[in-house]
Chain A
Amino acid sequence: MSDKERSDNERSDTAPTEKAPAEQAAETAPPAGGTPAGKAGITAAKAALKDVPPEPGASKPDPILTASGVRRAFGGLVAVDVDHLEVQRGTITALIGPNGAGKTTFFNLLTGFDRPSQGTWEFDGHRANRMRSYQVARAGMVRTFQLTKALTRMSVMDNMLIGAHSQIGERMWAGLFPRLWKRQEAANRERALSLLERFKLIDKRDDYAGELSGGQRKLLEMARALMLEPKMIMLDEPMAGVNPALKQSLLEHIKDLREDGMTVLFVEHDMDMVHEIADWVAVMAAGQLITEGTPDQISADQRVIDAYLGAHHDAAQH
């Protein structure tokens, strides 16, 4: 299996997209398989962000995502009001902030799961603010959910296969003629198997997804997202509800994503975890982006500490 699978992976890695520095760097790293040996990605990411000033809305050398004036109001309540945010290609960027800061709402807006009151954003050179959620995913920005959405009454394998993109057999009429899609299905299956192996779910492939533990569901969700071969992956609280033993391996998987040339944006509460894996941190409070910077810069920033304390103050009022 490994030979064929490897060639498959290589093919997918060298998909015909314009090559960002980080992506090129990723290609020199060993292909998927979960070996933490490759460090090219992190080096490239650090280098790219070296000269970016730690201030809200700072511009980046090669942003994959650029959002401007994004605003979402529920009735009178403004949940999100972000002036400008750029996400550097090939980095792991964390979005942090106190409860109710509007992180998840911002996520929903970016991925098309909610409609903004106003605002525009570009993903990978395309206007994305009018796209529907499935179009966003097809464009290469795939998300996961805070509460995992495993398709419980389907097998782990089917969960993986449903993730594969541009399947011929997903057209209704084509579904009637297995000959049209059998070969593609087999290739997808190979790819799913290799991903399951990488995420250590291979033994569970014939179980129902509903039988997995919380942490395994997180892993499955991430692996499923990779079936789309995304350029950018958005993780909504990937550590929520995961037991400590699994946390470390989940962290490693996220780091691997960067080594594979993907951009990661994730929402998180836990500062320790952010410190460990993020190249860049954006901080939200009360719907606004209050600052950005490297993890070290952020933990030293008085505004962030105020925001967290202030949020507690705010929360008490509600």
Chain B
Amino acid sequence: MDWQFVFSQALTQAIGPTMLVYALGAIGLNLQFGYTGLLNFGQAAFAAMGAYGLAMAVVAFDLPFWWGIAIGLAAAVVMALLLGIPTLRLRADYLAIVTIAAAEIVRRLARATVWSDTTGGSDGMRGFSEPFFEMNPWPPDATWEFLFVSMDSGRLVIDFGIFSLQYSNRDLWVMTVGWALVLFFLGIMALLVHSPWGRVLKGIREDEEAVRSLGKNVFAYKMQALVFGGIIGAVAGFIFALSRANVQPDTFTTDFTFYFYVVLILGGAARIFGPVLGAALFWFLYNLLSQGLIQAVRAEVIPQGMLSTTQIGPLVFFLLGLGMVLLLIYRPQGLIGNRKELMLDVR
């Protein structure tokens, strides 16, 4: 079997467009969960707000692309306000239940046939991404070569000998924008969490009553964190929708949210670079496992009857879920977290 191919694929994906979706979603979650302690179990719904806001504006209402972006962001803000107002004064698990329920409402509404003219129903929507790809500055027919980097009629190949990374012309554009957004939000996060504002958020995570007794309007801070984290979630939704050139309601399930948590905890919550490292590792492992297993079955390294190709998906997810649980139990600080800090969490 072709280990080189598997490895190259996994590495290509580890910094590719989908990984950026996870990184962005987890950055938003990091602000909400990592720094403020808000249990947002509906990050998928925020991503859906972005993706559907854009798609519906462009496809169903014939609005310009940038209007779609604005509508997606506005939808995420509205949703954060709607969810936050009833729950942010209550105990943490109420927000968890309400957000998980809201995410399910959004998904079911999106796939309902009642208004599928507008939302596309369970088939979703396509045909909104062209304005985005028209802005692509990477020439689609460029061909050049420089050391180990080459461009073959728009397709970028980075050849390291043992393995190589390959990206199509469209991928390149998605990645350019995606990485720029990741760096932009990381920069903002770094400024914010090291400011007095960020200090109040961390205080709220530790003990909101104490922070309230010090004259801080805890509700307002939580709301700001929820809204801004939701906005980043919506941006993740944009990248998700654009990279796939379609939106589908059933991609925005609770599992999607849970992968954001996996990414965040894998990388290390309440660490600026945690989400990016976590996303790269998560998506690398996922691709390595699934590609490896698919290749192994094809090459009959794994005997035929033992594992069918349709079982590979569940198996990989089982392994990732298991890894997540073990990680939370034995290394809750993730890759770059601070063990000492976490040991103090005993309350």
**Residues of A participating in the B interface, judged by any CB pair closer than 8 Å:** 111, 113, 132-135, 137-138, 142-145, 149-154, 158, 161-163, 165, 167-172, 174-176, 178, 181, 185, 208, 210-211, 224-225, 227-228
Contact = CB atoms under 8 A, between A and B. Distances in A.
B188 A176 contact: yes
Contact of B199 (A149, A152, A162, A211): A162
B218 A134 contact: yes
Interface string B194-237: 01111110110111011111111110000010001000000000
B271 to A, nearest CB: 13
26 contacts: A111-B213, A113-B213, A133-B212, A134-B214, A134-B215, A134-B216, A134-B217, A134-B218, A142-B215, A144-B213, A145-B209, A150-B207, A152-B344, A153-B202, A153-B341, A153-B344, A154-B202, A154-B203, A162-B196, A163-B214, A165-B215, A169-B195, A170-B216, A175-B198, A181-B195, A185-B196
Contacts of A153: 202, 205-206, 341-342, 344-345
Nearest to B205: A153
A2 B345 CA distance: 36
Contacts of B216: 134, 162, 170
B82 interface: no
B192 A176 contact: yes
B191 interface: yes
A210 B344 contact: yes
Interface in B322-347: 340-342, 344-345, 347
A224 B202 CA distance: 16
List the 7 shortest-distance A-B pairs measured between CB atoms, nearest first: A175-B195, A210-B344, A137-B215, A149-B210, A175-B197, A169-B196, A151-B206
A208 to B, nearest CB: 6
Contacts of A143: 213
A175 B191 contact: yes
Interface of B: 188, 191-192, 195-200, 202-203, 205-207, 209-218, 224, 228, 340-342, 344-345, 347
Contact of B197 (A145, A163, A172): A172
Nearest to B206: A151
Contacts of B192: 172, 175-176
A208 B213 contact: no
Contacts of A168: 196
A185 B347 CA distance: 31
A133 B344 CA distance: 27
B68 to A, nearest CB: 26
Contacts of B199: 154, 158, 161-162, 170
Given A134-B215, A142-B215, A167-B196, A158 B202 contact: yes
A171 B197 contact: yes
A15 B199 CA distance: 26
A149 B215 contact: no
A137 B202 contact: no
Contact of A169 (B197, B203, B224, B345): B197
B340 A208 contact: yes
Which one of B206, B340, B347 has the greatest number of beta carbons of chain A within 10 Å?
B206
Contact of B202 (A133, A142, A151, A163): A151
Given A165-B215, A228-B214, A181 B196 contact: yes
B131 to A, nearest CB: 30
Given A162-B200, A211-B344, A178 B195 contact: yes
Contact of B213 (A133, A154, A175, A178): A133
B200 A170 contact: yes
A170 B192 CA distance: 10
A153 B37 CA distance: 12
Given A137-B213, A152-B344, A172-B228, 20 more contacts: A113-B212, A132-B217, A137-B215, A145-B209, A152-B207, A152-B345, A153-B205, A153-B341, A153-B342, A153-B344, A154-B202, A162-B203, A168-B196, A170-B196, A171-B197, A175-B196, A176-B192, A178-B191, A181-B196, A211-B344
Given A137-B215, A149-B213, A154 B196 contact: no
